[in-house]
Every structure is written in C-alpha cells, then in structure tokens.
Amino acid sequence: MKRVVALAALCLAACGPAPVQPPADPATDASYAQSVQQLAALTRKAEGLFQKGNQDAASDLILKGEPVATRLLATPRPTLEAMQAASDLDQLYGQMLLSNRNYGWARLQFQKNEARWKNWRPQTPETAERLHAAEAAIAECDRKMTE
C-alpha cells in the first residue's frame, strides 16, 4: 500500500509545472552593447549635422535612433551607458525643438531627462550634472514660453 501511495504521489508531482527559469537579463547580451554604441554614434552624427545647420538630416537620424532608445530602455534594468545614450538623444531632440520655437515639445524631451536622472541610483557627479542640465533646459523653455 505504501508503494502505491508513493507511486501516486510521484506521478502527481511529475504532472506539475516545470520549474520557472528567470529570463536572462537582456542588458548582458552582446547585441545590447552594440545597440548602445549604435545609438551613441547616431546621436553624435546628428549633433554634428545640427551644429552645421542641417536640421533635416539631423532629424532623420534622431527619428532613426528613437526605436533603438526605446528598445534599450525597455529592459528591466537598463545600463548606465544605455541611459546616457538615450538621454543624449532626447537632449539633442529637445535642443532642436527649442531652436524651432516648439517650446512645449522641447520641454517634454527635457522633462524625460529630468525624470530619468532624478530617479537614477546610485547618483554620481555625472548623473547630477545631467539632472542639472535637464532642469536648466526646462527653465529655458519656461522662460521662452513667457516671452
């Protein structure tokens, strides 16, 4: 009888769900690091074009970089490098919008950076500097809106 009960318990245990494996952290994947580098390169190129006055080409690169930034930040714990790359893209986009007098949209881009760096842990001098830059850009938008 004990054997029958033990066999029944073993059969029931075998029918249960498989142990759940936690998903791998996408931020540790090599393609993640490549995407961070790609986004940083796109932003640098767009910034160069913007500085030369070629806003249309810079805008095209920014639009190309936005899905990359979204994908990078969709991971459960994005890396600091990914946050910086996305932040740089948003900062440049905000600057372009500000130069075109789209103050409300520019402010939105800068607010994303403000929230990003206000909540980043651990705070470092660089993240504090980025937070200060975002707050200054928001203040500039507010000042321009009231002129």
Q: Convert the pLDDT of each residue in 96-145 to its tens digit.
A: 999 999 999 999 999 999 999 999 999 999 999 999 999 999 999 999 99
Cα gap 80→131, rounded to integer Å: 14
Cα gap 58→44, rounded to integer Å: 10
Give the dihedral sign, CA 30/33/34/35: positive
Task: Provide the pLDDT for residue 30.
Answer: 87
Print burial letters for 70-109: b (CB count within 10 Å at least 16), e (below 16). Answer: eebeeeeebbebbbbbbbbbbbbbbbbbbeeeebeebbbb
How long is the chain? 147
Amino acid at 27: A
pTM to 2 decimal places: 0.83
Name the nearest CA neighbour of 67 among 42, 97, 103. Answer: 42
Cα gap 74→55, rounded to integer Å: 28
Task: Provide the pLDDT for residue 143.
Answer: 97
Cα gap 46→94, rounded to integer Å: 13
Give the confidence band of 28 by pLDDT, cuts at 50, 70, 90: confident
Task: Provide the pLDDT for residue 26.
Answer: 82
Task: Provide the pLDDT for residue 94.
Answer: 97
What percent of the chain lies above the pLDDT cut of 90? 78
Residue 34's Cβ-side half-sphere holds a number of Cα atoms within 13 Å equal to 3
**Which of the two residues, 82 and 30, has the higher pLDDT score?**
82
Asked if 82 and 32 count as a contact pair (C-beta separation under 8 A), the reply is yes
Cα gap 120→80, rounded to integer Å: 9
Token readout for 70 is 């979204």
Q: Convert the pLDDT of each residue in 83-101 to its tens digit.
A: 999 999 999 999 999 999 9
